[in-house]
Amino acid sequence: MGDRLKGRTAVVTGAGRGIGRAIALALAAEGANVVVNDPGVNVDGTGHDRGPADQVVEEIRSAGGTAVANYETVADYEAAGRIIQAAVDSFGRIDILVNNAGILRDRMVFNMTEEEWDAVIAVHLKGTFNCTRHASVLMRQQRYGRIINVSSESGLTGNAGQANYGAAKAGIAGFTRVVARDLGRYGVTCNAIAPAALTRMTAGLAELRAQRGAPAPPLPGLVERTPEHVAPIVVYLATDEAWNINGKIFHVAGGSISLAFEESPMREITKGGMWTIEELADLVPQLLTYDIPNPAPPPPELEVPGRPSRSQG
């Protein structure tokens, strides 16, 4: 075991399986006390099982680390407060928060129900706020803290059939940048990762791609991208050495880690007054969007108003 996090206390939500489990084990291996939070739900958020959290706690203790289990849901504001309080009650403080908990209710937007939307937003986006809100009060008071959120490619670049999940993950990216500014002056950093790894949550993507007629394999190379590959960057961001990294998003997949480019204007057209629709119809394709592909263009046989006919092309 290492000692980079000796004396620190971490809360990891959704830590009973997959990426959360790998992160919890890695934090403990560097000496952190870990609250392993997981209500043990199914991928869609239903059910309850204390087994996953208990098993990870046992793994940590067997390896010589220190951990306690917690089974609350992050989707409930008061319950999230009890998750953070579990760290204080068990170890006296909260230094590190990893907002990893998540569920899936994938469906194309024209078929998605309100309940499917609300359930995913509640766990991912509201759950990230809930835990951060409670932890931030204590971190601000002690002038120290590390918050690592889990975003996703689905939110940063888009993935069909995941309007709820993608919206939540995009929201988490924006939330991360704002929280970094809210808390940075108090010695608290807030960063995010957008991981790609083979877990039970990614297993359903194969079926979704098949429904859309996408070719196999579902995600090339994903089998080599394990949850364990994701954990080191999270541990690093939780250390004192990462004190000056704040408000950033890191893509993590297998042995690859990349820093996301923050969204900012990349091209611009200006004039000394209001644009006309005619001017925009002429200049936007020429100067702004000329080399940016449509992520889901309509098929050639579909009549699309405004698209040049094949005879014109």
Active site residues: 165
Q: What is the DSSP letter of 246?
A: -
Burial class (CB in 10 A: 0-12, 13-18, 19+), 112: middle
Greatest Cα pair distance in the chain: 73
d(CA 163, CA 261): 22
8 Å CB contact between 236 and 4: no
Q: Three-state SS across 166-224?
A: HHHHHHHHHHHHHHHHHHHHHCEEEEEEEEECCCCCCHHHHHHHHHCCCCCCCCCCHHH
Element (H, E) at 78: helix 77-91
Rounded to 5 degrees, φ, ψ at 73 are -95, 135
8 Å CB contact between 149 and 172: yes
The conformational region for residue 214 under phi > 0 = left, psi -120 to 50 = alpha, else beta, is beta
8 Å CB contact between 270 and 178: no
